[in-house]
Amino acid sequence: MPPRPFRFAVQSFSAPSGAAWRDRARQVEELGYSCLHLADHIIGPGPALERTMHPLQELAAVPAMAVAAEATDSLRVGCRVFCQDYRHPVVLAKEAATLDFFSEGRLELGLGAGWLESEYTAMGMTFDPAPVRIDRLAETVTLVKAHMSGEPIDQSGEHIEVHEFSGVPLPVQRPHPPIMIGGGSRRVLALAGREADIVSLNFNNRSGVLGPDGVKLSTSSATERKLAWVREGAGERMDALEIEIGAYFTFVGDGGDAAAKGMSAVFGLSEEEMRAHPHGLFGSVDTICAELERRRELFGISYITVTDEVMEPFAAVVARLAGK
Residue 66 lies in a domain: yes
* CATH assignment at residue 228: 3.20.20.30
Contact (Cβ atoms closer than 8 angstroms) between residue 171 and residue 96: yes
- Omega of the bond leading into 81 within 30 degrees of 0 (cis): yes
**68 is in which domain, residue-wise?**
7-321
User: Would you give per-residue pLDDT tens digits along the chain (324 residues)?
Assistant: 789 999 999 999 888 899 999 999 999 999 999 999 999 999 999 999 998 888 899 999 999 999 999 999 999 999 999 999 999 999 999 999 999 999 999 999 999 999 899 999 999 999 999 999 999 999 999 999 999 999 999 999 999 999 999 999 999 999 999 999 988 999 999 999 999 999 999 876 555 445 666 787 788 889 999 999 999 999 999 999 999 999 999 999 988 888 888 888 888 888 888 899 999 999 999 999 999 999 999 999 999 999 999 999 999 999 999 999
Residue 261 lies in a domain: yes
Contact (Cβ atoms closer than 8 angstroms) between residue 61 and residue 40: yes
Helix count (H) and strand count (E) of the chain? 13, 13
Residue 2 lies in a domain: no
Residue 313 lies in a domain: yes
What's the angle, vertex CA 114, arms to CA 42 and CA 245, rounded to 5? 100
Residue 232 lies in a domain: yes
Question: What one-character DSSP code corresponds to residue 6?
Answer: B
* Helix, strand or coil, per DSSP, at residue 306: strand
Residue 1 lies in a domain: no
Phi, psi dihedrals of residue 198, rounded to the nearest 5°: -125, 125
Q: How far apart are CA 148 and CA 104, in angstroms?
A: 15
Residue 251 lies in a domain: yes
| Number of domains into which the chain is organized | 1
Residue 201 lies in a domain: yes
Residue 281's CB is within 10 A of a number of other CB atoms, namely 27
- From the number of C-beta atoms within 10 Å of its C-beta (0-12, 13-18, 19+), residue 236 rates as exposed
